Chain A
Amino acid sequence: MRLVPALSMALAALMLASLTVGAANVDLRGIFRDPQAMLVLLESRLPRTLAVTLTGAALSVAGVLIQVLVRNRFVGPDTSGTAEGAALGLLAITILAPTSALWLRMGAAALGAMATTALFVTVIRRLPPREVMLVPIAGLVLSGVLGAVVTFIGWQTDLMQYVGAWLYSGEFSGVIAGRYELLWIAGLAAGLAWLAADRFVILALGQQVATGLGLSTAAVMRLGLLVVSVVTAMVVTTVGMIPFVGLVVPNLVSRIMGDNLRASLPVVALAGALLVLACDLIGRLAIHPYELPAGLILGVLGAGLFLWLLHKRPSHG
C-alpha cells in the first residue's frame, strides 16, 4: 500500500516543522552550538512533538476499536463515556489520596474509563440493532450524564480546574520532558490492538460469523475495552481529551481502504498523528507567539470533516 510511505513522509515533515515552531527560536542547523536551543529542543519541542504524534495515533486506533465493539461508525472515545470515566477515576483518586503516585492515578483513570466504556457497550447491546442512530445518541447521552456527574463532583470539591484540563481543553502547551511519557503506554496499547487486528475484523462481522469461525468473542471484546480505556485514560491524564480524532480518522480511512484492520490500522495511526500534529501546528502559528489549543482547531476541522463524511455517505451503518 502506497499510503503508508506517503503518510510517513508527510508526518516526518510535520514533526520536523513542529520541532522548530514555537515562541523560542530553535534553528536545527546550529543546534549543537547553541545549548539554549538544545535545551528547548530536548525538554520541550521533542516531548511535545512526540506527545502530539502518540496522542493522535493512539486515539484514532482507539476510535476504530470502539466502533468495532459497538458495531457502529458514528462513535469515538470522546462520545462513549470513556473520557468521562477516566476523569471520574482521576477525581476519585485525587479526593481519596491527593498525594498518590502517578501510576496509581493512571490506574484509577484506566479503571474508570473501563467501567464506563463497559457500561456503554452493555447499554448498546440492549438497543434494537437496526436503529443505527440510537448508538451514537446513547453515547452522547451517557457522556453528557457522566460529564455532569464529573462537573458536579469537581464543583463540590473545588477541583473544577482539573476537570477542565482533563475533559475540555485538549492542548499540548504544557508538555515538557517528564510529563508526557504515559502516552507511550497509549501508543503501546494501540500497537497491541494491531497484533489482534484479524480478531477485531471478525468481531465486527457479528456474533454469528465470529462463532462460525471459532473466535471466542468475549476475550476479544475485553481486549478492545482494555485498549480503548487505557489509551483514553493516558490521554486524559496527560494532555486532556482531544475531540473528533477518534471519530473522523477511522471513517476517512475506512472510506478509502476498507476495514481490513491488519492493513488499515497503521494508516489510521499515521493519519491520526498527522491530523492532530497539523492542528497543533496551526494552533501554534495562528496567533504566534501565543497559542490556541489543538483541541479547539480539531473541533472546528473535525466537525467540518465529519459533516463532509455524512454528506458523502449517508446511510451505511
Chain B
Amino acid sequence: MIQIEGVSHHIGTAQILRDISTSLPEGRLTALIGPNGAGKSTLLRLIGRLEPLQAGRITVDEHDVARCPTGCLARVMAILGQQTAIASRLRLSELVGFGRWPHHQGRPSADDHARVAEALDAFALTPLAGRFLDEVSGGQAQRAHIAMAFAQDTPWLLLDEPLNNLDMSHARALMVRLRGLVADGGRSVAMVVHEINYAAAWADHVVAMKDGRIFATGAPAEVLTEEVLSALYDASIRVGQHHGRPLVLHHA
C-alpha cells in the first residue's frame, strides 16, 4: 500500500499540493484523474521520489521514500515520468535492458536477459530491438520506456501519462497488460491518465484531484458519475454505461 500523509508541495510561490492524505491500495490498478494543473503528476513524482518531499510523509510498502536509499526503492517501484527527449543513442534492447540494472548493477544474468526479452515481446518491440531510439517513432519510443519500467519487475509500477503518443490498439494492449499484471501477477499500478474512459474501463480505484487537493476517491462507479465529473472539470459531462462500466461521453 502507498500511504500519503499530509503532503504539501510548492514550486516558487505556487502551491501545487495542499495537505494531501490518501492511500493507494495494493493489488489494484489506480487511476489519477483531474484537470490540467491539479497536481496529479507532482503527486506521482513525489511518490516516485523524482522530486524531494517538502512536507508530509509517503511510504510505499512501508518504505519511507524520504529515508530509504534510492537503490532499495528501485526494487520496490518503477516510475515512468513524462518523457523528455533522450539524447542518447541506445538500441531499444539496451534501453529496456537498463530496466534490470537495479537488480544486477552491471552484471546481467540469464534471468535478466530473459526478462528483457519478455518485456520487449510484451510491447511488440522485438522486431525493433536493434534499432536506435532516434530511429523509431514517438509511440515506439514510449513503448520502449514502458517496457523498461516493466522489465524493472517491481511490486509497484507508477506511470505518468503512459498513453501519450500511443495509438488506440497499443493503448488498449498496454491497459490489458497492466490489468494482467494486477490480476495475475499480484502487482500494483498507479497511473496518471487524461482520457477518462481508460480509467472507466480498466481501473479498480480512482483518485480525482483538483487544485492540489483530493476531490474524490473510490471505485470507478462511485467517482465517475455525472455529478462528480461535472464538478471536477467545471463542465457539464454526461456519463453512460457500457458493459456495466461507466462510459464518459464527449458529446454532451
Enumerate chain A interface residues (CB-CB to B < 8 A).
71-73, 129, 198-199, 201-202, 204-209, 211-216, 254-255, 258-260, 262, 316-317
* Residues of the A chain whose Cβ atoms lie less than 8 Å from the Cβ of B49: 211
Among B20-28, B83-91, B186-194, B220-228, the stretch that binds chain A is B83-91
Known: A201-B88, A202-B101, A206-B86. A212 touches B80 (CB 8 A): yes
Q: Give 1 or 0 for each of B76-99: 1 = CB within 8 Å of chain A CB.
A: 001111001111111100100011
The CA-CA distance from A132 to B89 in the complex, in Å, is 16
Residue from the list A201, A214, A254 in contact with B75, Cβ < 8 A: A214
* Residues of the A chain whose Cβ atoms lie less than 8 Å from the Cβ of B50: 207-208, 211-212
B139 interfacial contact with A, CB 8 Å: no
Known: A208-B81, A212-B50, A215-B70. A202 touches B87 (CB 8 A): no
Q: Give 1 or 0 for each of B140-164: 1 = CB within 8 Å of chain A CB.
A: 0000000001001000000000000
- B89 engages A254 (CB within 8 Å): yes
- B70 engages A205 (CB within 8 Å): no
* Residues of the A chain whose Cβ atoms lie less than 8 Å from the Cβ of B215: none
- B90 engages A214 (CB within 8 Å): no
* Residues of the B chain whose Cβ atoms lie less than 8 Å from the Cβ of A201: 88, 90, 98
* Residues of the B chain whose Cβ atoms lie less than 8 Å from the Cβ of A207: 50
- A208 engages B84 (CB within 8 Å): yes
The CA-CA distance from A129 to B86 in the complex, in Å, is 12
- A258 engages B90 (CB within 8 Å): yes
The CA-CA distance from A73 to B88 in the complex, in Å, is 10
Interface residues of B in 53-108 (CB under 8 A from A): 69-75, 78-81, 84-91, 94, 98-99, 101-102, 105-106
| Whole-angstrom distance between the Cβ of B52 and the nearest chain A Cβ | 10
* Residues of the A chain whose Cβ atoms lie less than 8 Å from the Cβ of B90: 201, 258-260
| Whole-angstrom distance between the Cβ of B160 and the nearest chain A Cβ | 10
* Residues of the B chain whose Cβ atoms lie less than 8 Å from the Cβ of A211: 48-50, 70
Residue from the list B72, B80, B87, B105 in contact with A316, Cβ < 8 A: B87
B134 interfacial contact with A, CB 8 Å: yes
* Residues of the A chain whose Cβ atoms lie less than 8 Å from the Cβ of B78: 212
- A214 engages B73 (CB within 8 Å): yes
- B101 engages A213 (CB within 8 Å): yes
B202 interfacial contact with A, CB 8 Å: no
* Residues of the B chain whose Cβ atoms lie less than 8 Å from the Cβ of A212: 48, 50, 74, 78-81, 149, 152
Known: A205-B98, A258-B132. A214 touches B87 (CB 8 A): no
- B91 engages A260 (CB within 8 Å): yes
- A259 engages B88 (CB within 8 Å): yes
| Whole-angstrom distance between the Cβ of A116 and the nearest chain B Cβ | 24
| Interface core residue of B90, B98, B134, B152 (most chain A CB under 10 Å) | B98
- Of all chain B residues, the one with the shortest Cβ separation from A197 is B106
The CA-CA distance from A233 to B94 in the complex, in Å, is 33
Given A214-B75, A216-B71, A316-B134; 10 other pairs, CB 8 A cutoff = A201-B90, A206-B86, A208-B81, A211-B49, A211-B70, A214-B72, A216-B70, A254-B89, A258-B132, A317-B87
| Whole-angstrom distance between the Cβ of B74 and the nearest chain A Cβ | 3
| Whole-angstrom distance between the Cβ of B69 and the nearest chain A Cβ | 8
* Residues of the A chain whose Cβ atoms lie less than 8 Å from the Cβ of B132: 258
| Whole-angstrom distance between the Cβ of B104 and the nearest chain A Cβ | 9
The CA-CA distance from A207 to B94 in the complex, in Å, is 18
The CA-CA distance from A206 to B248 in the complex, in Å, is 37
Residue from the list A208, A213, A317 in contact with B74, Cβ < 8 A: A213
| Whole-angstrom distance between the Cβ of B246 and the nearest chain A Cβ | 32
The CA-CA distance from A129 to B73 in the complex, in Å, is 27
- A213 engages B102 (CB within 8 Å): yes
- A205 engages B88 (CB within 8 Å): yes
The CA-CA distance from A199 to B134 in the complex, in Å, is 21
The CA-CA distance from A29 to B52 in the complex, in Å, is 67
| Whole-angstrom distance between the Cβ of A263 and the nearest chain B Cβ | 9
The CA-CA distance from A207 to B102 in the complex, in Å, is 15
- A260 engages B94 (CB within 8 Å): yes
- A214 engages B106 (CB within 8 Å): no
* Residues of the A chain whose Cβ atoms lie less than 8 Å from the Cβ of B75: 214
The CA-CA distance from A254 to B134 in the complex, in Å, is 12
* Residues of the A chain whose Cβ atoms lie less than 8 Å from the Cβ of B71: 214-216
Closest 4 CB pairs of A and B: A214-B74, A214-B71, A258-B89, A259-B88
- Of all chain B residues, the one with the shortest Cβ separation from A212 is B79
| Whole-angstrom distance between the Cβ of B84 and the nearest chain A Cβ | 7
| Whole-angstrom distance between the Cβ of A305 and the nearest chain B Cβ | 18
Residue from the list B48, B85, B88, B91 in contact with A204, Cβ < 8 A: B88
Known: A258-B132, A316-B134. A213 touches B98 (CB 8 A): yes
* Residues of the A chain whose Cβ atoms lie less than 8 Å from the Cβ of B81: 208-209, 212
* Residues of the A chain whose Cβ atoms lie less than 8 Å from the Cβ of B99: 213
The CA-CA distance from A46 to B78 in the complex, in Å, is 52
The CA-CA distance from A262 to B108 in the complex, in Å, is 13
